[in-house]
Structure 1
């Protein structure tokens, strides 16, 4: 009996000692990780703040693929939320504060445990964003006991944050690379008056030159209070593959003929109505060569002749001046075609 008594007291002392040890452990934690994501901060921010995108990169979902996710009334901005029922634990995440393109604050709740604070910071770098993901909170006695058994919060959460940020970088890169090319068919372009400036350059330099020349046009329009102008476009005049040279104009259609300053290199022209194959590229302008090749292949396959005297045009409905996400850029291409032996015009 004495042995059992001593054993009981020994266990009791051990339990009290462990309880005291658990109780004196830190009552709060803060874990953060940083990753440079190769995309502009508005693109990264918009992707992260939409909670429907989280299923594409959160590391915890890989461990519990059958996790049931339920979204709140909104998934973006303040008040956005989603909850989940998992194999081991249920929880909820809600956005409590949002400063566009720079910060997000969220509250993370796991069943009856004290809520954790989640914060995101997005610091712009050259063509990239430094993203910091941080989780902090208070620990109750049971949480401290769990940590004693499973390791501290840094050891448990840190690697998951690292994996999540690396996956976030890869999925955003894939997302901004998405593009589509759609053949819209044969159509009539009404033409019209336009303001333009003409440039000659190497073919390899043309994609850099085009935004510069469009900005020159837009600056002129603003300075002269010109209204009712159309979408910026490029008019390709000639292309010499052998000598890596091309001549093109950049301009905007206007509602009427505008007399420009004699000293200015901005001129007024007129495009006559013409029949063309229209094609739409949604995505990065890096894919424009493929888009043009698709247009030429379409015409060749259907034996539709190009009209080399007509204008070869690119209209930039949405570009980097409107959104930094290349996947959302929209470019329309018009290839002039002969009126002989061609299908009916698309209505």
Structure 2
């Protein structure tokens, strides 16, 4: 009986030590990128991303029905800001801090306790459409919990970015087709 209790305590001690030791070797920053070719002009795709209000049409980060959004600043471009509160997604905000028409959009995001991230969007003409890259850069992940979180979220965040780009592709290509019909 004493031997099994001792073994159990030793296992708990080793797990405890590993929980705090491993994050010492994990990065405090992560960058996750996803790309898509969208068969729509760069102006159509850019405008859907540059306006935080239109992101409801395609952004996986805005699909939480408990989310209450507050918009401030200009409708689009630098200074456009969205704050949210949600039972499911917590609270936070996003602000467009750089907007170069049809080329680049940069956002700063604050998720409260989990931390902050910077979003980078690039738009490049590609054959009959636009190559879109969406990148999230998480920095300052706190030891030990933030570092563990970064390690485990990397794959799921990439899937979220890819599903967002898939939805953006559908909306942008539909908008592009509608615009061609009205010309």
TM-score when normalising by structure 2 = 0.86
Give the 5 Å matches for 1:7-22: 7-22=8-23
The separation in 2 between residues aligned to 1:66 and 1:79, in whole angstroms, is 25
Q: For the aligned residues, what is the CA RMSD?
A: 2.2
Question: Paired residues, what number?
Answer: 179
Q: Deviations over 1:247-270 (max 9, x none)?
A: xxxxxxxxxxxxxxxxxxxxxxxx
The separation in 2 between residues aligned to 1:46 and 1:35, in whole angstroms, is 16
Secondary structure of the residue aligned to 2:69 is strand
The separation in 2 between residues aligned to 1:158 and 1:27, in whole angstroms, is 18
Structure 1 equivalent of residue 127 of structure 2: 126
Bigger relative contact order (CA 8 A; separation at least 6): 2
Q: In the alignment, is the contact (CA less than 8 A) between 1:75 and 1:82 conserved in 2? A: no
Q: In the alignment, is the contact (CA less than 8 A) between 2:41 and 2:176 conserved in 1? A: no
Structure 2 equivalent of residue 55 of structure 1: 56
Structure 2 equivalent of residue 70 of structure 1: 70
Following superposition, the deviation at residue 46 of structure 1 comes to 1.7
Give the 5 Å matches for 1:1-347: 4=5, 7-62=8-63, 64-88=64-88, 89-138=90-139, 139-141=141-143, 142-147=145-150, 151-153=152-154, 155-178=155-178, 284=180, 286=181
Secondary structure of the residue aligned to 1:84 is strand
Q: In the alignment, is the contact (CA less than 8 A) between 2:70 and 2:82 conserved in 1? A: yes
Q: Deviations over 1:125-146 (max 9, x none)?
A: 2331100000012222222233
The structure that is helix-richer by fraction is 2
Unaligned runs of 5+ in 1: 179-282, 287-326, 330-347
The separation in 2 between residues aligned to 1:34 and 1:94, in whole angstroms, is 22
Q: In the alignment, is the contact (CA less than 8 A) between 2:55 and 2:62 conserved in 1? A: no
Following superposition, the deviation at residue 118 of structure 1 comes to 0.4
TM-score when normalising by structure 1 = 0.48
Q: In the alignment, is the contact (CA less than 8 A) between 2:105 and 2:120 conserved in 1? A: yes
Q: Deviations over 1:59-81 (max 9, x none)?
A: 1333x222111111223111111
Secondary structure of the residue aligned to 1:76 is coil
Higher-Rg member (1/2): 1
Unaligned runs of 5+ in 2: none
The separation in 1 between residues aligned to 2:95 and 2:50, in whole angstroms, is 11
Following superposition, the deviation at residue 176 of structure 1 comes to 3.3
